[in-house]
Structure 1
């Protein structure tokens, strides 16, 4: 069996030093659409966007943690863990949970430690949970859980994992936000370190079952978090405590995201759909916890 759950769970964690600077942060922010003001009547370089793009005013959107180090253990490298041998064309990023323990500095150095935290049997697929914890000289910075969906690798009799949430939002949302993506969005975003050819190579995308390259799920995740911070959290990235989501569908570069937000005490519930495909679900079960 390509996935040996017991071996994967028992494997020693892998640690490595990661570093980042203001240029890395700016590149990530540009990759999720910063600088492109959605209000066509306002300049792209207004104060709101300069918080993400100008080094003298820079602050760090928490989702930067998903790419910090540009080569730190991630979804693809997680597939090289002991006990795991799978075909990359069968792999999709199923979900992401990020907890930030304090604001991420504009420049930093940290130790990122990764391990397989869980292996779930979904019948026709397996789900690997790759946990990465980053710590610097001042203590924990963030914890990232990437849920990696591997088609055709289930059915081994393992734990099915947690059930889907039952408290999904109903009724009219408190806010609806639309954010366009660019035709070259994936090509720009991948410069932050996710080199999966699924997002750039048309032939590879066809092998994976898609008509053309798709946008990174974590790019959609970042676009969504930025939109929520900018419109409902006063643009204050430090208010974000955690952000979890399930990747329910794909986005093709150039499509528009429709982001619906419901307010709850201490959190925001979010869904995202692709406007051009009748709001086809893209992100579901999305929760942004905040102060």
Structure 2
């Protein structure tokens, strides 16, 4: 079987040294649509190095961490059968604007969903001052289930029956995927129309992690006074695609130290984009 669960879980974590500076952070923020209006003081904290803070979603691209464990021992799957099912980032303290860290990646779990397997790839980063972040990427692999393993936990959230506390819309620029991919995800699905057609799409789609970052920025700016240091954790399930040129409709329900979110594509009758989305904060 392509996935050897015992070997995957027993494999030693892979270790890499990573580094970043203000330019990497600014490029990531610009890829999320930051900087409009360009002179807005609230936007300058994402774009101007003298005022810069780091949105926690940056942890998904620092050191180009996405799918970092797909080459681990015991994992031998067809990448054409792979989907990014969900993402969780937990930050242990604010991410510095410039830094160096040791990053370790391992397979934390493998779940049997019947017709598919879900691989949880965990990436942890620490610097000289201690832990910085923990990333869990849930990778859905079609055709690899049915091996008799644990089904895994259910993280589904019930959408509140009351109206959202806040609803905002965020336009996606036509060139946004082209800019976001400069942060390290070079999959041609997000840039090459011919490749996108082979994958079954009329045109290139936006990176799921770009939508993920845009949503976190919207919640931060709308409900957390733009203070990224208040964010402690952020998780989502990728429920559908979105295309450059469309508009994200982001609905938010506030609770005790948490914001529950749904994201839809406004122009396509609110087609789901992100579901089971939760921002935890202080």
For Structure 1 versus Structure 2, the TM-score category normalised by the shorter chain is over 0.9
2:66 to 74, 79, 85: 74
Distance 1:263 1:280 in 2: 22
Distance 1:74 1:111 in 2: 16
Distance 1:3 1:129 in 2: 13
Distance 1:124 1:211 in 2: 27
2:94 to 90, 93, 103: 103
Corresponding position of 2:28: 28
Corresponding position of 2:14: 14
2:237 to 230, 246, 254: 246
Q: CA deviation at 1:132?
A: 0.5
Corresponding position of 2:259: 268
Q: What is the count of residue pairs matched by the alignment?
A: 282
SS at match of 1:78: coil
Structure 1 unpaired stretches of 5+:
38-43
When structure 1 is superposed on structure 2, of 82-91 and 259-268 the one drifting more is 82-91
**Aligned CA distance change for structure 1 residues 157 and 197 (closer, same or farther; 3 Å):** farther
Distance 1:25 1:164 in 2: 30
Q: CA deviation at 1:31?
A: 0.4
Query: TM-score w.r.t. structure 1 length?
Result: 0.93
SS at match of 1:227: helix
Residues 131-146 of structure 1 correspond to what in structure 2 (within 5 A)? 131-146=122-137
Indicate yes or no: 2:174 matched with 1:183: yes
Residues 162-173 of structure 1 correspond to what in structure 2 (within 5 A)? 162-173=153-164
CA RMSD after TM alignment: 1.3
Deviations 1:186-227 (A, max 9, x none): 111111011222222333333333332211111000000000
Corresponding position of 1:214: 205
SS at match of 2:94: coil
2:43 to 28, 45, 49: 49
Corresponding position of 1:41: none
Query: TM-score w.r.t. structure 2 length?
Result: 0.96
Distance 1:207 1:78 in 2: 26
Distance 1:225 1:140 in 2: 21
Indicate yes or no: 2:54 matched with 1:63: no
User: Would you say the 8 A contact 2:19–2:62 is kept in 1?
Assistant: yes
Distance 2:148 2:159 in 1: 29
Indicate yes or no: 2:179 matched with 1:196: no
Distance 2:165 2:139 in 1: 31
Q: CA deviation at 1:130?
A: 0.4
User: Would you say the 8 A contact 1:89–1:207 is kept in 2?
Assistant: no
Distance 2:192 2:140 in 1: 20
Structure 2 unpaired stretches of 5+:
none
2:118 to 93, 116, 127: 127
User: Would you say the 8 A contact 2:205–2:241 is kept in 1?
Assistant: yes
Q: CA deviation at 1:108?
A: 0.1
Corresponding position of 2:103: 112
Corresponding position of 2:217: 226
